[in-house]
Amino acid sequence: MKRVSLKDIAKELGVSTATVSLVLNGKNEKGRVSKKMSQKILDKAAELNYVPNTLAKGLKMGKSRTIGLIVADVSNLFFGTLALHIQVFAEQKGYSVIIGNTNEQLKAMENAINSLYGRQVEGLIITPTEKSQHLLIKLINNKIPFVLVDRSFPELAVNSVLINNYEISYQSTEQLIQKGCKRIGLVTYKQDHYHINERRRGYEDALKQAGIYDPDIMEEVRYDFLENDTRKVIGNLISQKEKIDGVFFTTNSISINGVKGLIKNHINIQEDIQIMCFDENDAFYILPYSVPFIKQPIKEMAKNAVELLIDQLEMKSEGTKQVVVNAELVLSRNSI
């Protein structure tokens, strides 16, 4: 079925498209179009089921009312939830969302940016991949508004929405210490993401503060070999001559795999070893022992990212802004 255009309505009514456009956009101030005609146009539009062509409008107006969202990982709950919340908030503000995916690949991020740019997005919300600073700088030079979420580069003055990675990690580690842990291991990614490193720094500082810092029980795993590497480092950790009594996992995926590894090695979580996990997971509510974890306020992050971006787009705001939302330390399973 051919789509109904302004022209179709105009033709049926014997008026010009200008008149129709004026009426349908509520722009007939000062009685430019008569009541009667207005009504006829409105009626006809409804009758024909007219839906304006957003592309044409966007082309003419130079505004697409679309924002691009570039996320990292297809199969990660965190990004999925973030994406869908962003969509909801954006829609509330009258913007549509087109998504792009990087799979943590720099090249894919570049492609996504170009593709979305070609689709005339007015701005971008991005969870940048490692070493993507130059792409962001290009965006800045081209004056394309964007907001980073979840991750950022401290050396770049850009809009961002992050959680308090350092602080919450420090506090979480302190918790373990308060519980009596003396040798707290770490499992983190081997990479160069600021936000992950901040988590590590928080952990390290808490240990130093308590005087129990030991680099020997800090392990790194590769993103592309997460399962195997985690299994391996868990093995390392538990076979230390001086037994460890706690572990801090710096991401969701590491937490899951770390817990799996501990269980597989018949470690009794909470009795033999205390753990602290980054990110929420349904599993933590279900396990027969209480798993303390750091809950990221995903919805709030989404909200802030959308607002920050749209403020930029609508010129409500100048300069860059760094928003930090607080993660929450969930100790007891009061939800059960």
Partner DNA sequence: GATTTTTGATTAATCGTTTAACCTCTTACT
Partner DNA sequence: AGTAAGAGGTTAAACGATTAATCAAAAATC
Site residues (CB under 8 A) for a second copy? 1, 3, 49, 51-56, 58-59, 64, 66, 71, 74-75, 77, 79-81, 83-85, 87-88, 91, 96-101, 103, 114-115, 117-120, 141-144, 256, 259-260, 263-264, 281-283, 285-288, 335-336
Contact 278, 215 (CB under 8 A): no
Q: Considering the complex, what minimum distance in angstroms separates the CB of residue 88 from DNA?
A: 25
Taking the alpha carbons at both ends of the chain, their separation in whole angstroms is 53
Separation of alpha carbons 335 and 178, rounded Å: 23
Cβ nearer to DNA, comparing 19 with 87: 19
Separation of alpha carbons 95 and 217, rounded Å: 48
Strand (E) or helix (H) holding 114: helix 106-118
Q: How many CB atoms lie within 10 A of CB 93?
A: 14
Residue 191 binding partner per list a second copy, DNA, none, with a CB distance cut-off of 5 to 8 Å that depends on partner kind: none
Out of 1, 14, 211, 336, point to the residue binding DNA (CB under 7 A).
14
Torsion of CA 296, 300, 302, 306, to 10 degrees: -150
Cβ nearer to a second copy, comparing 55 with 157: 55
Cβ nearer to a second copy, comparing 290 with 322: 290
Q: Single out the segment in contact with DNA by CB under 7 A; choices: 18-26, 194-202, 210-218, 283-291.
A: 18-26
Cβ nearer to a second copy, comparing 111 with 164: 111
Locate 307 and state its tokens: 């607002």
Contact 186, 219 (CB under 8 A): yes
Gyration radius of the chain's alpha carbons = 26
Instruction: Report 51-80 residues binding DNA (CB under 7 A).
Output: 52-53, 56-57, 59-62
Q: Considering the complex, what minimum distance in angstroms separates the CB of residue 121 from DNA?
A: 14
Q: Single out the segment in contact with DNA by CB under 7 A; choices: 9-17, 181-189, 213-221, 316-324.
A: 9-17
Residue 243 binding partner per list DNA, a second copy, none, with a CB distance cut-off of 5 to 8 Å that depends on partner kind: none
Cβ nearer to DNA, comparing 14 with 180: 14
Contact 202, 170 (CB under 8 A): yes
How many residues does this entry show for the chain?
Answer: 336
Which positions ≥6 away from 159 have C-beta within 8 Å? 145, 146, 147, 148, 308, 309, 312, 320, 321, 322
Q: Does 30 bind DNA (CB under 7 A)?
A: yes
Separation of alpha carbons 194 and 148, rounded Å: 12
Out of 21, 81, 105, 317, point to the residue binding DNA (CB under 7 A).
21
Q: Considering the complex, what minimum distance in angstroms separates the CB of residue 125 from DNA?
A: 24
Distant-in-sequence contacts of 129-132, Cβ < 8 A, 24+ apart = 129/72, 129/102, 129/104, 129/105, 130/104, 130/106, 130/191, 130/192, 130/193, 131/106, 131/192, 132/106
Residue 61 binding partner per list DNA, a second copy, none, with a CB distance cut-off of 5 to 8 Å that depends on partner kind: DNA
Q: Considering the complex, what minimum distance in angstroms separates the CB of residue 217 from DNA?
A: 56
Q: Considering the complex, what minimum distance in angstroms separates the CB of residue 99 from a second copy?
A: 5
Strand partners, 67: 97, 123
Out of 1, 11, 12, 31, point to the residue binding DNA (CB under 7 A).
31
Q: Does 18 bind DNA (CB under 7 A)?
A: yes
Which positions lie near DNA, rule CB under 7 A? Answer: 3, 5-7, 14-19, 21-22, 24-25, 27, 30-34, 36-37, 50, 52-53, 56-57, 59-62
